[in-house]
Amino acid sequence: MQSRADLTKLESSNRATATPEEAKAIVASSIAYFGKYSVDEASKVVSIDIQGSTFANQIGSTSDNKRIITSLTANELKLTNPGSASGLKLELVFKRAN
């Protein structure tokens, strides 16, 4: 699951009654998916076989679901997503929890 840190909060505090504007802002600022991950260490590519997603168009599409490892340390993994559904080049940063 990925989302902006400043994700829109709903005025009603009930996701079933979100206004169209609130729902649009949330969909544009977050995504959740799961599946099988594989790593090609030589090319520094992480491939994801998405099996479920809040964006159903991703399910089963493996060609667009590659992440490039740009940095890896004992405490942090940085990936870029050059082919995001939004058309933007995204950088993902995962930090080890202490």
For residue 72, the number of C-alpha atoms closer than 13 Å in the C-beta half-sphere is 8
pLDDT of residue 89: 76
Whether the predicted pLDDT of 4 surpasses 90: no
pTM over 0.95: no
pLDDT over 70 for what percent of the chain?
Answer: 91
Instruction: Read off the tokens for 49.
Output: 């076989």
Residue extents of the structural domains in the chain: 34-95
pLDDT of residue 77: 93
> pLDDT tens across 49-85, in order?
999 999 888 888 666 688 899 999 999 999 998 766 6
